[in-house]
A = this chain, B = another copy of it.
């Protein structure tokens, strides 16, 4: 009963046919109160198949958002619809941007074939990754041809999130000296495509050469390769603000997608990802059930007692779980 009445409220058909308001409302529920829309998410899930999911990451100031805007414009000219998910709290997509950025993005926002959503980055690290995954899945099920996820590449969280997209683009701007910023943040290893953006600035060629030298050291290529067919991350020079190099980037994305499909890697990636999400949600759900079973006072009491009496923590855990009936239903 619950599912039926909900479906009317939440207008799943509207979501699947591109009703932006229905989509926005649903995503808000997904982010804030997933349990309440669990059945609808389950219903949408099978439709999420076969969309192209692209992760774009890189240090602040590398011009990721402008690049995404330019790429989106290109995709729209080819007739493809695009959804953008911004996980970066400082992203222009979330509002805190320079005027020039905002104007460029506003042009996109008026386009019915583009949908922009920014994520609130509260909660646990793992939590954010999986909440983002929920949002991406809904957008894919809503029929967008391409979903682009923007993350800021400085911290474990973002690396995790980048791991959710089968194609990951690591963007950096020409820096001072030979420094490869992306390497510091551990981003090179996850890159399928490397972009030196702001190629109108001095030092772009040098940055490209530095990246190339790092790739030639073999580390990322080998790490990605294993027993799989080898993909050597191409390095693309772009100037997003001048819309130069964006077509080259789109071609690299397309050929990475073909490579994944040709070798069955897209299916393998999705399977790995679903498995990891299953294990994460299993642990969280079990823990949640346990918390529902005991009161907060009981928990506090157990912990205080453990600390005061110096009880071995595993022993305290076992004592707690003895109070629990935990077995297979017959």
Contact = CB atoms under 8 A, between A and B. Distances in A.
Contacts of A38: 312, 314-315, 318
Given A42-B314, A278-B306, 20 more contacts: A38-B315, A39-B315, A41-B312, A41-B314, A42-B312, A46-B310, A46-B311, A137-B312, A274-B307, A277-B313, A278-B317, A281-B314, A282-B317, A283-B286, A283-B287, A286-B290, A294-B328, A323-B328, A324-B326, A324-B328
Interface in A280-330: 281-283, 285-287, 289-290, 293-294, 302-303, 306-307, 309-318, 320-329
Interface of A: 34, 38-39, 41-42, 44-46, 48-49, 137, 156, 270-271, 274-275, 277-278, 281-283, 285-287, 289-290, 293-294, 302-303, 306-307, 309-318, 320-329
9 contacts: A42-B312, A42-B314, A45-B315, A46-B310, A270-B307, A281-B314, A281-B317, A283-B287, A289-B321
A311 B45 contact: yes
Nearest to A321: B285
* Identical copies of this chain, number: 2
Nearest to A276: B313
Pick the most buried of A137, A310, A323: most chain B CB atoms within 10 A of its CB.
A310
B287 A282 contact: yes
A45 B308 CA distance: 12
A203 B29 CA distance: 58
Contacts of A313: 274, 277-278, 281
Contacts of A277: 313
Contacts of A328: 293-294, 323-325
Contacts of A290: 282, 286
Contact of A283 (B39, B46, B283, B318): B283
Contacts of A46: 309-311
